[in-house]
Amino acid sequence: MSAAFEASDGTRLNVDTAGEGMPVVFLHGLCGDSGQTAEVFPTDPGFRRITIEARGHGRSQAGAFGKLSISTFADDVADYIESALEAPVVVGGISMGAAISLRLAVRRPELVRALVLARPAWRTAAAPENMAPNAEVGHLLAHLPSPAAKAAFLAGSTGRRLAAEAPDNLASLTGFFSREPVEVTGALLTAIAKDGPGVTERDLGGIAAPTLVIGHERDLIHPIAYARALAEQIRTARFIQITPKAEDKVQYVADFRRAMAAFLKDL
């Protein structure tokens, strides 16, 4: 089920929900949408998935390009929780969604009952090296027509490396060249790739909410080392390693759902 939510500046966001029971605000990754979260969310009864599609994603308006940031996205989620849910709630996400959730756990801990950080692409620093391929795609989209931009990326060193080492990452990135509107896609990739969650190492040690960190190998955009490090630094965290999507997508989905379901049932 989808419903509209108006952000504080009037930007209209789409909120996708499914299931009944414990509300779980579960957020998608960069240039993803609610389909990404629905795919891996537990099918067990008793949980209600709530995905606020970030500005410029899914059916949400982009609003002003200058406001496209992890901090803005986190503020939008906080506003939704305060207006539509009874806080605190479980908050989590995949990749960029994990960064948004991490920021909320630090900046707005009263809203976060428990935390899920899946395939994190950030720890604390802005513009981490693993996000450089996203920035490269954003740059190419800003300077070349989409077909030429895609060809240049695939022929370049980054495209060749991903083809050999992380084919799932390559599939996601090449899909961005046909994502419409192109101007929004380029703006998102450029802005978010150079951004960060705006938290410190000390902040991580102060997180008190029960936390699940999910990671897997064969993923250059979401290094498993980041997942392991976050699980070590957040004293309430447990780490689960799942099957890489590039190796076996069906098993990846099953592992993801199982890990989340077990964590949620323990709350």
Domains parsed from the chain with CATH numbers:
2-126+197-265 (3.40.50.1820), 129-190 (no CATH)
Kindly tell me the sign of the dihedral angle through the C-alpha atoms of 65, 125, 38, 212. Answer: negative
Least Cα distance to 59 among 108, 115, 113, 14 occurs for 14
Q: Could you identify the residue written with the tokens 């969604």?
A: 97
Q: Report the predicted TM-score, pTM, of the whole model to 2 decimal places.
A: 0.97
Provide, rounded to the nearest whole percent, the portion of the chain with pLDDT above 70. 100
- Determine if the peptide bond prior to 88 is cis (ω within 30°): yes
Q: What pLDDT, on the 0 to 100 scale, is given for residue 223?
A: 97
pLDDT tens for each residue of 224-254: 999 999 999 999 999 999 999 999 999 999 9
Least Cα distance to 257 among 240, 234, 236, 238 occurs for 240
Q: What pLDDT, on the 0 to 100 scale, is given for residue 252?
A: 98
Q: What pLDDT, on the 0 to 100 scale, is given for residue 20?
A: 96
Q: Which helix (H) or strand (E) holds 67?
A: none
pLDDT tens string, the chain, 267 residues long: the values are: 999 999 999 999 999 999 999 999 999 999 999 999 999 999 999 999 999 999 999 999 999 999 999 999 999 999 999 999 999 999 999 999 999 999 999 999 999 999 999 999 999 999 999 999 999 999 999 999 999 999 999 999 999 999 999 999 999 999 999 999 999 999 999 999 999 999 999 999 999 999 999 999 999 999 999 999 999 999 999 999 999 999 999 999 999 999 999 999 999
Q: Which helix (H) or strand (E) holds 174?
A: helix 167-175
Alpha-carbon distance 150 to 144, whole Å?
Answer: 9
Alpha-carbon distance 10 to 147, whole Å?
Answer: 34
pLDDT tens for each residue of 133-150: 999 999 999 999 999 999
At 58, list the tokens: 């899914």
Mean pLDDT of the chain: 97
Is the CB of residue 124 less than 8 Å from the CB of residue 197? yes
Q: What pLDDT, on the 0 to 100 scale, is given for residue 210?
A: 98
Alpha-carbon distance 258 to 42, whole Å?
Answer: 7
At 185, list the tokens: 């896609």
**Rg of the chain over all Cα atoms, to the nearest angstrom:** 17
Alpha-carbon distance 206 to 96, whole Å?
Answer: 21
Q: What pLDDT, on the 0 to 100 scale, is given for residue 249?
A: 96
Alpha-carbon distance 233 to 137, whole Å?
Answer: 32
Is the CB of residue 42 less than 8 Å from the CB of residue 257? yes
Q: C-alpha angle 239/245/247, rounded to 5°? A: 110
Is the CB of residue 103 less than 8 Å from the CB of residue 123? no
Least Cα distance to 28 among 41, 10, 19, 18 occurs for 41
Q: What pLDDT, on the 0 to 100 scale, is given for residue 25?
A: 99
Q: What pLDDT, on the 0 to 100 scale, is given for residue 147?
A: 96
Q: What pLDDT, on the 0 to 100 scale, is given for residue 9?
A: 97
